[in-house]
Amino acid sequence: MTERTVKLDILSDPICPWCYIGKAQLDRALADAPDHPFVIEWHPFQLNPDMPAGGMDRRAYLEAKFGSQDGAVRAYAPVVEHAERAGLRIVLEAMERTPNTLDAHRLIHWAGIEGKQNAAVDALFDAYFVQGRDIGERDVLADIADAIGMDAAVVRRLLASDADRDDIRARDAHCREMGINSVPTFIVAGKHAVPGAQPPDLWRKVIADIREQLAS
Q: Could you tell me the residue ranges of all domains in the chain?
A: 6-215
Q: What is the mean pLDDT of residues 121-149?
A: 98
pLDDT at res. 216: 81
Strand pairing report for 38-44 and 6-12 = parallel
13 pLDDT higher than 70: yes
1 pLDDT higher than 60: no
Q: What is the mean pLDDT of residues 193-197?
A: 97
Q: What is the mean pLDDT of residues 202-207?
A: 98
Q: Please say whether the beta carbons of 150 and 111 come within 8 A.
A: yes
Q: Write the CB contacts of 139 (distance below 8 Å, at least 6 apart in sequence).
A: none
pLDDT at res. 2: 53
Task: Identify the band that residue 72 occupies on the pLDDT scale cut at 50, 70 and 90.
Answer: confident
pTM for the model stands at 0.96
210 pLDDT higher than 60: yes
C-alpha dihedral over 45, 51, 55, 61, to 10 degrees?
-100
70 pLDDT higher than 90: no
CA distance linking residue 143 with residue 156, whole number of Å = 9
pLDDT at res. 68: 87
DSSP state of 158: H
Rounded to 10 deg, the angle between the 152-160 and 102-113 helix axes is 130
pLDDT at res. 73: 85
Residue pLDDT, tens place only, 74-103: 989 999 999 999 999 999 999 999 999 999
Q: 6-215 maps to which CATH number?
A: 3.40.30.10
Q: How many CB atoms lie within 10 A of CB 7?
A: 15
- Note the helical H segments in the chain: 17-32, 58-66, 69-85, 102-113, 117-125, 138-147, 152-160, 165-177, 200-215
Q: Which residue has the higher pLDDT, 8 or 65?
A: 8
For residue 43, give the 3-state DSSP assignment. strand
CA distance linking residue 145 with residue 123, whole number of Å = 9
Q: Please say whether the beta carbons of 156 and 142 come within 8 A.
A: yes
CA distance linking residue 204 with residue 162, whole number of Å = 40
Q: Please say whether the beta carbons of 32 and 208 come within 8 A.
A: no
